Amino acid sequence: MRIRRILSIIKKEFIQIKRDKPSLGIAIMMPLMMMFLFGYAVKVEVDHVPTAVWDESQTLQSREFIRSFQNSNYFDVVTYVSNRGEMQALMDTGEVKAALHIPPDFSRNILKGEPAQTEMLVDGSDPTVARTVFSSGVLIAEHFSRNISLKTMLKRGSGTITLPVELKPRVEYNPSFKTEIFTIPGLIGLVMQNITVMLTAFSLVRERERGTIEQLIVTPIKPAELMIGKLIPYIFIALIDFTLSLSIGMFWFHVPVKGSLALLFPLALVFIIVALSIGILISTVARTQLQAMQMTMLFLLPSIILSGFIFPLDAMPEIVRLISYMIPLTYFLRIIRGIVVKGVGFDILYSDTLALAFFGLVLFTLAIVRFRKKLE
């Protein structure tokens, strides 16, 4: 071996790296972005759970009971409701993960020394959050009840410790805390995103590397026509993949679909178009298949962490949560879990559907505009 030859190869490689500025930028920026995003987003501790309260007692004792939940930092009371229907609606939309109900005889029973029963609804669609809410709620109620008993004993000068306040948690949607109920619908969304983005991310790049892009440029085909023509075949492939993935979830992992399949498939089609548009946009930016792969990974990795697929969004800092709303998978996970786990309808999911439709329109338009620049 000659050192001079090795040094020449090293010099050549550095020159190539310097000329390939997109790949160099991705190589430098990706670890920085991943460390900052994942460092703040990867949290398994659940606190500040959005909570609704239905206080039928409206007394000093009931307000102290509510305050004990707020002071724990596990629960944030975000709204007060006046009936069970409002509690259930907030749980269906995902605006709250817990709902506390205090009956009208709460204070009267405490003053009489009789058991005062309260109820807490828990959103069990995410077992990680549900377990924390379940156990924390019971412990807070026991602590509050024990303090009341101690105060009563001090007043009387004697007695035994009894727990006058009893909290009955009721887990909605997934009472058995079965993990598959939560992970399988999310996995279907993640698989669909990864497949569809990668399918189209290499389409134009492949044409460019094979030299067939020039043949498309000289034809009278308009950029929009070319994009639509490239999109439609992959839509059919993606729909087949979605059907297969959903069937495996239903029949192999025994995850029942509580909602409407007739609603799930059209909304899945909207998400498929969005994911394919992301891939097409990547293919208009990347010059080589290596760059296309790097850009695809740069998009896919954060979406796995920040979309709520693994880690609950409620546990993330506010700024990281805002970034998650820029990821289309975040909205589709709410859609597919809403239909499969909760059985909700379009009246609950329309805002997430509109967000996906907006993403699809913007991304597909950008892809057309970007390709038009390539034609000039």
Residue holding tokens 């109620």? 141
Does residue 362 surpass a pLDDT of 50?
Answer: yes
Residues 160-172, mean pLDDT to the nearest whole number: 79
Please, are residues 122 and 171 in contact by the beta-carbon 8 Å criterion?
yes
**Which has more confidence, 373 or 142?**
142
| DSSP assignment letter at 325 | T
C-alpha distances (whole Å) from 54 to each of 71, 84, 87, 101 are 18, 8, 8, 5
- How would residue 80 be classed by pLDDT, with cut points 50, 70 and 90? very high
Residue holding tokens 């306040």? 165
- How would residue 207 be classed by pLDDT, with cut points 50, 70 and 90? confident
131-145, 191-205, 207-221, 305-319, range with the lowest pLDDT? 207-221
CA 144 from centre of chain: 34
Q: The tokens of 299 are what? A: 């998009």
Identify the pLDDT of residue 68: 92
* Chain segment 113-138, per-residue pLDDT in tens: 778 889 999 999 888 888 889 999 99
Residue holding tokens 């839509």? 235
* Chain segment 5-24, per-residue pLDDT in tens: 667 766 766 776 677 676 66
What is the domain partition of the chain in residue ranges?
49-172, 178-375
Rounded-to-integer distance, Cα 374 and Cα 211, Å: 14
Please, are residues 172 and 155 in contact by the beta-carbon 8 Å criterion?
no
Residue holding tokens 């900052």? 36
Pick the CATH number of 49-172 from 3.40.1710.10, 3.40.50.1100, 3.40.50.300, 3.40.50.1480: 3.40.1710.10
**Collapsed DSSP state (helix, strand, coil) of residue 280:** helix
* Chain segment 305-350, per-residue pLDDT in tens: 888 888 788 777 778 888 889 999 999 999 999 999 999 999 999 9
Burial class (CB in 10 A: 0-12, 13-18, 19+), 216: middle
